[in-house]
Structure 1
């Protein structure tokens, strides 16, 4: 398949550039240090399911839009109750762990290499406030960072991807959406963006029927594909 002609790269953040489950596990271990790993995983699943369920309710029109930091606070209270923790300071610290997410080992190098050739746009379901914290903690460097909060909805709603086309001033087929989640890439593809899947342990791998433009085993491998020639 010939390499697409691209003017800018658009990146998913959670899962693609930062290891969200690892950051949340760190927060859960601080919340309940006596719990074993099985209990930590149970609490992590409880958190993740709450976020996914509430975002889906908003996408389905069953709940008014609320930014991700509101959902993080809700999830922190839910998880703390399940862990038997009532200290409000500890619950607040757990909610903040959603912003204290470590980057993957190749993230900084990959972004730096790609930034030498392309404008880089972050596009995240994280709120504006949360995205600022995530970027700072993980050392992410952007030319532009966009939050789904600006569209008052969540990916995979088309309005979120349209933020990137509006900001870039370029037609969607000249933008490359980079993500570790096939569902994210399918939604970007549906509004005309080109797509690049980057494999991550916490991602959503492509199905046999997916037809993404590029596939890479890492961000640096994607940089190899896009910066050669």
Structure 2
């Protein structure tokens, strides 16, 4: 039986894509560059190209890797092939916005749980994301902290060690994420209870996130963070 929401002590969160709207941030920056170059681009096509370029063998840590990614996708979008535009795309991460429901939901959840960030982003970018969310986290793990990226089990093991030092275990954590590939599948394989936030429920495909080899049915499923926060309130009333 799946544990009830009030039984958890922690909630761990994917950040980019679950709490921070990185797809809109990427598309907005690319469309600004396109407008300056008098070019029209399709946002979903840009995300498809981004996904293919991002998940390559020579990828580096995110979002620094956006410089390389831009140079790879610019020719196919008809955009100027110039490193300074790649740097502009990378630096746009500092201003990426949280989804409209994220900050309020996190503030609500922080009343009852210790919130842990688990992000493949580097620490410099996470600091901006956390500020946009109202700095709700009890602890945070970035690619810089773990030396790896999800879905590597070692990333999750770092979090398990942290909660163990606080006298808890992975069974006390509900892992919350939108990425089937990076989070939902591997969290299930590692024996965690998980919650899928299906941000793209009204859109086709996986957007800027790599498609999983197979779909994992989550323990909990909502289409927004507001939905999760409302369920917690209902379960505790």
TM-score range, shorter chain: 0.7 to 0.9
Which of 35, 39, 47 lines up with 1:35 in the alignment?
A: 39
Is the CA contact 2:118–2:142 (under 8 Å) kept in the aligned structure 1?
Answer: yes
SS of the residue 2:47 aligns to: helix
| Cα RMSD (Å) | 2.8
The one-character-per-residue Cα deviations of 1:63-83 (angstroms, maximum 9, x if unpaired) are 6x8422331221123234553
Aligned twin of 1:101: 96
* Structure 2 gap segments, 5+ residues each: none
CA apart distance, 1:104: 1.3
Which of 119, 123, 133 lines up with 1:124 in the alignment?
A: 119
> CA separation of 1:84/1:210 partners in 2, compared to 1, >3 Å: closer, same or farther?
closer
TM-score with structure 1 setting the length: 0.82
* Structure 1 gap segments, 5+ residues each: 58-62
Higher mean displacement: 123-132 or 85-94: 85-94
Aligned twin of 1:110: 105
Task: Say how many residue pairs are matched.
Answer: 219
Higher mean displacement: 23-32 or 79-88: 79-88
For residues 133-172 of structure 1, the aligned pairs below 5 Å read: 133-137=128-132, 139-169=134-164, 170-172=168-170
Distance 1:177 1:114 in 2: 13
In the alignment, does 2:8 pair up with 1:6?
yes
> CA separation of 1:138/1:77 partners in 2, compared to 1, >3 Å: closer, same or farther?
farther
SS of the residue 2:64 aligns to: helix
TM-score with structure 2 setting the length: 0.80
